[in-house]
Structure 1
């Protein structure tokens, strides 16, 4: 294993992580996180610009030229903390207790963002004339609708000819300890909303056929029984989960005039979203629930498994610096990698333990936080110095 971080290195990442956590950047707010980072990266020699879209702040920092181009991807926004009285300490007043740093964003993902900055500063100081390109893309719209963040920046990168060869995303990928799991792909996410219309009426006189809940019963059961035999060695089978069933006026003597069934599909690359939509529509038609309409929104296409040198470089860094054999995985939710992976760009996610993300008393172990900058620096070095040739030809 590599040498442990010095006290100065520990203090540096802790200080920056705490400064970022203290800024209440509830999506889509940035609360000054990106200007703070921009100043540091400009001082380190990076070209920095803001690409703001609507009310969303996006930061792009870049150094070097040509291939290989490794892009670090992250976000400065966080989810709302909920009632602050439920927290052991205020969510935007970072506090260390028993070797653990608490605060909203401690794991998802201000610690990773701080580590990205420290890693870039150290890498550029040691290798000012490195081959290829290293860049950092941050957004304040990952935890929200994700319309004006990375999704909006990618077309601009394409137009400028600045798309990366590979992306390292700092999302909290680890399960029990830092580096035990790395994400090499993600399932897609599809939101479906089925509306079945009936006739509102008095329960004493209504015709059962007019009640959309009665008509939807068999169909709802069929949705729950759907089976998708499309898994492989990298991805589990596609799954459908009903998330909401809504009907009625709130009165117990009035039949509903409309029923809404909300469901989510997590699909793998073996089944396209249009094929799933066709299957669901045929299922509805066969059930004949009456007057119906289906809203279908693809919030993320599946991608992976990552190819090229990046997965191996990440696994080697985890082995050499953390003494752990990382498990490649494609589980979990979505990330901003979904805007690069489906374009054929290898994406790997590596970050803190995700056990407390979006929860009250979100936290990260200090001993793991202080390892992140060195880990990310090693990956940058592996991709730009020794991994460059294979990356450029992949």
Structure 2
């Protein structure tokens, strides 16, 4: 079997680094389903080295999670430091029969490239690499530094990827002035939307405690579903807020209520409620937790469905790592990208904080960060695909953005 790095290097040697279509096709053909590297980082390493970047490939691990390969590449010394961040890992493609072409073949059908990761987000990586190659070919290296900060863990648990890669870079003395994340941000057309922030995310499990018994003798039992219903009502009855200048209203969604009880004539001993909140800058994580604790306590003590009984017992488990809300204020970063988009596609993009979370939530602790990439209509779907015209358009936007951002810092 051939060495994957050598194979990737050989493939990169035949690529034109200014051609985003060729770069994306090569990346899609690397089956980098998280957490497998699949040859994608090795290919990107070879491409960037051919452009003069110094490349490191740190691997991070933690008990209970698979080790993850990452990539940090930098060119230039001193001056302003612009970072492009993203990920080469992809979600599983699902049944091959659901695809019009092999999800790792990068087939081109009617002007679109089909493949897992085409828009989320190997397309963004290919476009930025090609944009830098074009800029450097036409102008020479910018007066400053450009880096690629690429993980293989964004679609996974996000434990051994961007968080640790940022810590690793900071420990080496790397300092960043601005970052653009190449996630797909446009709803329908290229150039519609730049993400300047993200809502926070907080997840919780509420285990409501009861007493098992026979449904014919409810006085001998304590049905936790009665309390769970009241808790769910307390969580949902009152809106968390009405939105802010930069963000839509926060919202809470109950995603599951489970007892694990297969019997219709047995009152279960416990019931679990799972919910997630996407919240705006009205809240901090701790402030939101306190509000939710107050609501849960109110529901547990409600007597409507449990007359004459004391407040129900329960335990809270705050699941996963919460994400704080953030917004990047207008400045050279947003102005440069907005002007580049308008120059290339003729429309002025909206500045938005909609959507889910991304690795930008980690990067915002190190430098201002925004997100801009392809149209995201097919991400994570069967037949994920990108229009070749959009891939070229994004490359042109990124190239114009690089020129404008560095010009703003001279």
Same fold per superposition (TM over 0.5): yes
Aligned equivalents of 1:358, 1:133: Cα separation in 2: 33
Structure 1: state its 5+ residue gaps. 1-7, 390-394
| Cα displacement string for residues 199-253 of structure 1 (whole angstroms, at most 9, x for unaligned residues) | 2233233438611111111111121223122522211121111111111322222
Q: Does 1:32 align with 2:39?
A: yes
What is residue 199 of structure 1 aligned with on the other side? 211
Aligned equivalents of 2:342, 2:192: Cα separation in 1: 10
Equivalent positions of 1:1-394 (< 5 A) are 12-54=19-61, 55-207=67-219, 210-229=222-241, 231-288=243-300, 290-296=312-318, 297-341=320-364, 343=365, 345-384=367-406, 386-389=407-410
Residues 344 and 150 of structure 1: is their aligned pair in 2 closer, same or farther, counting only changes over 3 Å? closer
- C-alpha contact (below 8 Å) 1:208/1:214 kept by paired residues: no
SS in 1 for 2:73: strand
Residues 330 and 11 of structure 1: is their aligned pair in 2 closer, same or farther, counting only changes over 3 Å? same
Aligned equivalents of 2:330, 2:347: Cα separation in 1: 21
Question: Which moves more between the two structures, 68-77 or 293-302?
Answer: 293-302
SS in 2 for 1:210: coil
- C-alpha contact (below 8 Å) 1:197/1:257 kept by paired residues: yes
SS in 1 for 2:59: coil
Question: Which moves more between the two structures, 291-300 or 122-131?
Answer: 122-131
| Cα displacement string for residues 7-46 of structure 1 (whole angstroms, at most 9, x for unaligned residues) | x989921121111112211111120101111111111111
Aligned residues: 380
Residues 127 and 161 of structure 1: is their aligned pair in 2 closer, same or farther, counting only changes over 3 Å? farther
Residues 222 and 253 of structure 1: is their aligned pair in 2 closer, same or farther, counting only changes over 3 Å? same
- C-alpha contact (below 8 Å) 2:232/2:299 kept by paired residues: no
Higher relative contact order (CA 8 A, sep 6+): 1
| Cα displacement string for residues 123-169 of structure 1 (whole angstroms, at most 9, x for unaligned residues) | 33334442221100100100111011001112222222313111100
What is residue 12 of structure 2 aligned with on the other side? none
SS in 2 for 1:388: coil
What is residue 308 of structure 2 aligned with on the other side? none
Question: Which moves more between the two structures, 222-231 or 60-69?
Answer: 222-231
Aligned equivalents of 1:318, 1:235: Cα separation in 2: 23
- C-alpha contact (below 8 Å) 2:17/2:130 kept by paired residues: no
- C-alpha contact (below 8 Å) 2:68/2:160 kept by paired residues: yes
Residues 98 and 11 of structure 1: is their aligned pair in 2 closer, same or farther, counting only changes over 3 Å? farther
TM-score (norm 2): 0.88
How far off its partner does 1:299 sit? 3.4
Question: What is the root-mean-square deviation in Å for CA atoms of aligned residues?
Answer: 1.9
| Cα displacement string for residues 319-368 of structure 1 (whole angstroms, at most 9, x for unaligned residues) | 00111111110001111111022x26221111111111111111111111
TM-score (norm 1): 0.92
- C-alpha contact (below 8 Å) 2:253/2:276 kept by paired residues: yes
Question: Which moves more between the two structures, 178-187 or 262-271?
Answer: 262-271
- C-alpha contact (below 8 Å) 1:306/1:348 kept by paired residues: no
Aligned equivalents of 1:222, 1:201: Cα separation in 2: 26
What is residue 392 of structure 1 aligned with on the other side? none
Aligned equivalents of 2:17, 2:409: Cα separation in 1: 29
Aligned equivalents of 2:60, 2:270: Cα separation in 1: 37
